Amino acid sequence: MQVQEDNAVYDEINITPMLDLAYVLLVMFIILTTASVQGIKVNLPKASNAPSLAKPSTRAITIAENGQMYLDSFPVTLAELENMLRQHKAVNPEFPVIVKGDAGIQYGKVVDVLDLLGRLEITQLGLVTQRVVR
């Protein structure tokens, strides 16, 4: 029976633990440096407690599944919608409009609204859709 000596010389160094440590340090460095970069710090002015007089300029026209139209959140008919949009256009000729139509409505309702927007010469128009996740 032969006995192996414990004084054997190793020709190879196991660097796996050292690489693991290097990767962990690299990931921590990347996370910490990107979290600390937030732009230039400025001293922002304080706003008063008075309510803001500026209203959002974008108008949303929503057509519900039952065919009811809404301007922002107020129910309107097509004639009322035309009058309200004329008033908004008189104040701000370049105001944007977004149209949200339910997927179950008749296509003609959306075409009526788009026709109205064309007659009023509202050029900043957006159609809202839902993104399909695959």
Q: What are phi and psi of 45, to 5 degrees?
A: -70, 155
| 50 or 31, which is more confident | 31
pTM, entire model: 0.55
Q: Is residue 37 part of a domain?
A: no
Q: Is residue 86 part of a domain?
A: yes
pLDDT band of 21, cuts 50, 70, 90: very high
Q: Is residue 16 part of a domain?
A: no
Q: Is residue 36 part of a domain?
A: no
pLDDT band of 63, cuts 50, 70, 90: confident
Distance CA 98, CA 127 (A): 6
Q: Is residue 94 part of a domain?
A: yes
Q: Is residue 89 part of a domain?
A: yes
CATH number of the domain within which 112 lies:
3.30.420.270
Distance CA 59, CA 85 (A): 9
Which range marks the domain in which residue 115 is found? 59-127
Q: Once rounded to an integer, what is the mean pLDDT over residues 18-46?
A: 75
Q: Is residue 115 part of a domain?
A: yes
Give the count of domains, the chain: 1
pLDDT band of 39, cuts 50, 70, 90: low
Q: Are 124 and 97 in contact (CB under 8 A)?
A: yes
Q: Is residue 52 part of a domain?
A: no
HSE-CB of 4 using CA atoms within 13 angstroms: 3
- Strands (DSSP E) contained in the chain are 59-63, 69-71, 74-76, 97-101, 125-127
